[in-house]
Amino acid sequence: MRLGVLDVGSNTVHLLVVDAHPGARPLPAHSHKAELRLAELLDGDGAIGSEGVDRLIAVVKEALEAAEDKGVEEVLPFATSAVREAANADEVLARVAEETGVQLRVLSGEDEARLTFLAARRWCGWSSGRLLLLDIGGGSLEIAYGLDEEPDAAVSLPLGAGRLTAGWLPGDPPDPADVRALRRHVRAEIARVVGDFSRHSTPDQVVATSKTFKQLARIAGAARSAEGLYVERRLTAKALEEWVPRLTAMPTEERAELPGVSEGRAPQLLAGALVAEAAMDLFAVDVLEICPWALREGVILRRLDHLPT
């Protein structure tokens, strides 16, 4: 069947269309995305303003039209941290449902971590053994660990690259004092949960998903996306240590000229790098693998698991 997963994230609204059936890997057929940056549209009370809701509704309608054009039989719609944490989340969800007919499923942070872990486990396979997963989104950081398809430990922290950029790094380039303050904040937040994972065995493999990690790996020398999904891409702690000071000194315009960095994501790259560096340091990770599957694939795989064979 042809499935569509509609991901209302903190940075983008992304429709991924796949051809899928139980027991087979989902084959991407179409991708439709719009940058919305909901995490940056919150007002002083933490609510998504009327303009932001209007834009969200318009983008959802566009995605539904694209799904219809591509012959999608079922759309799996969900929202993550930006909607989940909005002060007016119920109102936003009601308006979206009323004006588009889409009932957005709001994933908890732990749900995000677990579904992303499922995708990474399926991609890496059982031979990867004990798996540690890191995922930096626009609004949150997900960390999960386990030997099976359900992780033994899974947490979500409010350390998304978009959220941190908006709240901590107003300058362009940012003030070094602001960068140091953010660095302290990020490390303190991650350090609080390290103990939840350290009681488990050392991971056999560490993987990272998300656009942030892909871009960091690319600027550190990893293969271009055009070279295909199956090319091994890695990110080392040493490379991050070298790149963070360079990113700190760069204005957004200069970051956007780096290989693999889009104009829309360039402002968030430094905050994402600080989170990635802290996570790798505090979890004692020297090198990690970039996994091309993430949350959207996890949602699709979970749906396929419940289809009759």
CA pair distance 136, 161, nearest whole angstrom: 7
Task: List Cβ<8 Å contacts ≥24 apart for 63-67.
Answer: 63/6, 63/13, 63/15, 63/32, 63/34, 64/100, 64/101, 64/102, 66/15, 66/17, 66/30, 66/32, 67/4, 67/6, 67/15, 67/17, 67/32
To which H or E segment does residue 111 belong?
helix 109-124
Examine the pLDDT at 238 and tell me if it is beyond 70. Answer: yes
Closest CA to 216 of 175, 268, 144, 171: 268
Structure confidence at residue 21 (pLDDT) = 84
Torsional class of 210: left (φ above 0), alpha (ψ -120 to 50), beta (otherwise): left
* 3-class state of residue 44 by DSSP: coil
* Residue-wise pLDDT tens digits, 60-72: 999 999 999 999 9
Residue 204 in contact with residue 131, Cβ under 8 Å? yes
Using the 8-state DSSP alphabet, how is residue 293 labeled? -
CA pair distance 125, 26, nearest whole angstrom: 15
When pLDDT is averaged across residues 210-216 and rounded to a whole number, the result is 96
To which H or E segment does residue 144 belong?
strand 141-146
* Residue-wise pLDDT tens digits, 163-196: 999 999 999 999 999 999 999 999 999 999 999 9
CA pair distance 57, 174, nearest whole angstrom: 33
Structure confidence at residue 22 (pLDDT) = 81
Structure confidence at residue 190 (pLDDT) = 98
Residue 82 in contact with residue 71, Cβ under 8 Å? no
* Residue-wise pLDDT tens digits, 71-129: 999 999 999 998 999 999 999 999 999 999 999 999 999 999 999 999 999 999 999 99
* Residue-wise pLDDT tens digits, 142-152: 999 999 999 99
Residue 283 in contact with residue 153, Cβ under 8 Å? no
Examine the pLDDT at 309 and tell me if it is beyond 70. Answer: no
* Residue-wise pLDDT tens digits, 6-64: 999 988 999 999 998 888 889 999 999 998 888 777 787 889 988 899 999 999 999 99
* Residue-wise pLDDT tens digits, 247-299: 999 999 999 999 999 998 999 999 999 999 999 999 999 999 999 999 999 99
- Helices (H), ranges, 125-170: 161-168
